[in-house]
Structure 1
Amino acid sequence: MTRHVTFMTIDDAEHYSPGQRAAIVAAYPAHEREARAKGIPVLGSGRIFPVAEQLIACEPFRLPRYWPRLGALDFGWDHPSAAVELAWDTEADIVYVTKAARAAQQTPAMQVLTLKPWGEWLPFAWPRDGRRETLEGAGVALAKQYAAHGLNMLSRHAQFADGSVSVEAGLMEMLDRMQSGRFKVFSTLLPWFEEFRLYHRKDGQVVKLRDDLMAATRYGVMMLREAVVDPAEFRSARRPAGQADPLGAFR
């Protein structure tokens, strides 16, 4: 028997007007609103990011061309491979998730076809399992397979500046940014929010199920220092008057 789970929110109930939907949500007790309106399970302390969606969601906008950007990958096969693009407002130190892609059982060549239009110049962070050789790639490490197909892979796997790769440290960095208003996600990235709602722990351990975009985002946050400005945009850009430049991009 084949089963499929479809996630819907009250915003998908288009037979209600926006005003009616808002009134329905407001009528729920505050602690039940996410579960009833967004379909978010009540996971209690098990949720890894106990943050209301409205605190991190933002409407898409045209990115300032002087913002550094970075791609990030999580490898997979039966469970999906996933990729995100991060844009960094370095003046306010706010990270934006601006693109997301997820697909199962796709070779590196197929995934690169999806990701290269994001910008051939865009560097991609990747996890340390990208150093492993795979049967599908005839013994060639995954990261090298992506690079061979033209994706601009960083020279080393995702890690903090001190060389550590702690999952918990990465999650805490993301949570700290969310709670302090320094992490935003384009509201149109529905698959990203699906994973965000269900990302949780069991017996203290991160449940590695439907977490592909979450993992890719974590790798990107770890390697944010490698974000760069689009070279074509940089050449034509002029530093706005009064714009801070903490990365020294315009020096």
Structure 2
Amino acid sequence: MHATLNYPDHWNGYRYKKKNLTLWLGGITGFEADDLSRRLFEGSGNDPAFIHESLVVYSNRKDRRHQIKNALGGITNIAIKTYGGREQQNELSTWKASKVDCILLDEQPTMSVFVECCMRIMNTEKDDHGMIIIAATCTRFTPFVLSFTERVEKTEIDREGQKVGDEKQVKIASGEVRDGKVFLLAGWNDAQHLEEEQKKNMRANMLPMEVDARTKGLPSIGSGMVYPVLEELITCDPFEIPNHYASIIGMDFGWSDPTALTFGALDRNTGILYITFEYSMSAKTPDSHLADLQTMRGADSLKWAYVMADPAGQASSQKDGESLFMLYRQKGLNLVKADNARSAGILTCLQMILDGRLKIFKTCPKILNEIRGYAYDEQGRLIDGNDHLLDAMRYMVGGVGHAKTETKDQDDWSFLMDRHRGLGIM
């Protein structure tokens, strides 16, 4: 309708009134993009083409660009793009630097493509309505899904006689318009062409965790994001840490995978644990890591705070028989064996996030990136990969009872370095 500007009489939605339009269509990969093109201009199976050949004035299938005549006597420019698979890195640049009237995305886009699409329609002029339409089966909770289904509600609560700000994540209902966005759940009952025998056969071939997503439009709770929270709920602007805050550090050992540390500051008055600093580097020795950290503002608490470390670091190296625990303790770090019960640790972290008791400084982009990609598969199993800072965070949260404040009798960092050099350790 929007491409041809040929609206039926009963249509109560928005109608474009300008003669010349630019429309984009997006598919996951080149195969889906080509299929979109065929459905538009050739039809599929017994279904006719959406756009009759008599309206086409220009068509370049290779570049996926087309022009058609519309009902107002103008031209509608149609471009078909991709946002996933092997083409994603090369194709993302094609979503930039254009003014677009209407964008239709077939299946869930990447968050980066969605943000680019939002930028493309915000340049429309007064009374020039830009919109994005997305048709997708969202089987998992992802940052994209959360951007439609959740919001952060800010309130004030009384805490020890003082009014303080509080935030919590609440669900948005289907059909509720928020910040210019709305989602509608569509299930099999909305697809009137599906017969009962078809539904029965289709359900029999689905994974149990997919049934609600595909039959009711509900993403599965058991798959997708491990921490299904909006970044607005978990992040905060950095601030100067008061001296009375207690410090705690989490550490995950690595070599080809990064050695990762998260630095936490606990406000005992509010119970909020802030992740103030992150460190993640690969293929470096303990000496090199400590030398790097010595120069970084934010890592000062490593001089005296307890470090909740991956218990796997206690295993002896086949090369020299020394454990990473021993090496780092010899260099002055207060290492403590962390609890490595992953499922319990994740639930503890999630509950702290939902309660507003775990915050991450916006100056920690790596851990935020790990959160976006930390997910369960369709069977509810954790997908291992880019999660080293999250492991360090989990160790830190589990050992928050070890958080301590700096005291005057703590060894000075430079003194520790000199002492270790004298012992021949460094």
Task: Choose the corresponding residue for 1:211, options 371, 384, 387.
Answer: 387
> What SS does structure 2 have at the residue aligned with 1:206?
coil
Task: Choose the corresponding residue for 2:242, options 48, 57, 64.
Answer: 64
Per-residue deviation, 1:201: 1.3
Name the structure 2 match of 1:151.
333
Per-residue deviation, 1:8: 9.0
- In the TM superposition, 1:128-207 aligns within 5 A as 128-136=311-319, 138-154=320-336, 157-159=337-339, 165-202=340-377, 203-207=379-383
Identity of aligned residues (%): 26
Deviations 1:146-182 (A, max 9, x none): 112232323xx113xxxxx421111001000111111
Name the structure 2 match of 1:124.
307
Amino acid in structure 1 at the alignment position of 2:346: L
Considering Cα pairs closer than 8 Å and 6+ residues apart, tell me whether 1 or 2 has the greater RCO.
1
Amino acid in structure 2 at the alignment position of 1:35: F
Decide whether the 8 Å contact of 2:250 with 2:395 is kept in 1.
yes
> What SS does structure 2 have at the residue aligned with 1:72?
strand
Decide whether the 8 Å contact of 2:111 with 2:144 is kept in 1.
no
Name the structure 2 match of 1:115.
293
- In the TM superposition, 1:232-243 aligns within 5 A as 232=408
Deviations 1:128-148 (A, max 9, x none): 101101135x11011111112
Structure of higher CA gyration radius = 2
Decide whether the 8 Å contact of 2:248 with 2:400 is kept in 1.
yes
Structure showing the higher helix proportion among its residues: 1
Per-residue deviation, 1:110: 1.2
Decide whether the 8 Å contact of 1:66 with 1:229 is kept in 2.
yes
* In 2, Cα distance between equivalents of 1:123 and 1:183: 19
Name the structure 2 match of 1:51.
229
TM-score normalised according to structure 1 size: 0.72
Task: Choose the corresponding residue for 1:228, options 404, 418, 424.
Answer: 404
Decide whether the 8 Å contact of 2:142 with 2:228 is kept in 1.
no
* In 2, Cα distance between equivalents of 1:83 and 1:43: 32
> What SS does structure 2 have at the residue aligned with 1:153?
strand
TM-score normalised according to structure 2 size: 0.44
> What SS does structure 2 have at the residue aligned with 1:95?
strand
> What SS does structure 1 have at the residue aligned with 2:334?
coil
Name the structure 1 match of 2:270.
92
* In 1, Cα distance between equivalents of 2:396 and 2:381: 22
- Specify every segment of 5 or more residues in structure 1 that has no aligned partner in the other structure, as ranges: 21-26, 160-164, 235-251
Choose 123-132 or 208-217, whichever is displaced more.
Answer: 123-132
CA RMSD in angstroms comes to 3.4
- Specify every segment of 5 or more residues in structure 2 that has no aligned partner in the other structure, as ranges: 1-88, 93-109, 124-130, 148-218, 411-426
> What SS does structure 1 have at the residue aligned with 2:328?
helix
> What SS does structure 2 have at the residue aligned with 1:84?
strand
* In 2, Cα distance between equivalents of 1:100 and 1:128: 20
Per-residue deviation, 1:29: 8.3
> What SS does structure 2 have at the residue aligned with 1:66?
coil
Structure showing the higher strand proportion among its residues: 2
* In 2, Cα distance between equivalents of 1:81 and 1:224: 20
